[in-house]
Amino acid sequence: MKRFVIPVMLMLGAAAPAFAQPRNGNATLDPDLRAKVMAVSAKFRDQAKPIWQDARATRESLKSELAKAQPDDATLVQLEDRLASDRQQMAALHQQKQAELKKELSPRQYAQLVLSRPRFGHRMHGGGAEGGGEQQ
């Protein structure tokens, strides 16, 4: 299960609107900043989609292979390697997206964007009212 969490988080980061209003109201994003973030996010979402689809299909294949009475070790290794490759590609896209956002946004805008996102791990582990118990 842990192997699945990181790609899902990366995919959600690419697919979720980065301009969402924070629940605690610490930061708001102006329309210009929203438009820039949406444009960059759309570009990388389009690039991430085939990787995400491959990762999903690979996970299904991995489940199917494990459900067999005698799973083939070579097939399992191949599928695990493919899934690891998808994860690495998603991580690389995430880094590229962050670099492009830093290039497109002023330091002030990027700081506003960072503050508009939920704190890492806070929602994931159900911390407080914002977390809503969304544990994996």
User: In which domain, by residue range, is 33 found?
Assistant: 2-131
Asked whether residue 126 is domain-assigned, the answer is yes
pLDDT tens, N- to C-terminus, the chain (136 residues): 556 555 555 555 554 444 444 444 444 678 989 999 999 999 999 999 999 999 999 999 999 999 999 999 999 999 999 999 999 999 999 999 999 999 999 999 999 988 888 765 554 445 444 444 433 3
Tokens of 95: 């880094």
Using the 8-state DSSP alphabet, how is residue 119 labeled?
Answer: P
Asked if residue 130 lies in contact with residue 122, where contact means CB atoms within 8 angstroms, the answer is yes
Q: How far apart are CA 93 and CA 85, in angstroms?
A: 12
Asked whether residue 113 is domain-assigned, the answer is yes
Q: Which of 88, 110, 89 is nearest to 99 (CA)?
A: 110
CATH number at residue 69: 1.20.120
Asked whether residue 86 is domain-assigned, the answer is yes
Asked if residue 76 lies in contact with residue 65, where contact means CB atoms within 8 angstroms, the answer is yes
Domain count, the chain: 1
Q: How far apart are CA 102 and CA 96, in angstroms?
A: 10
Asked whether residue 26 is domain-assigned, the answer is yes
Q: Identify the pLDDT of residue 74.
A: 96
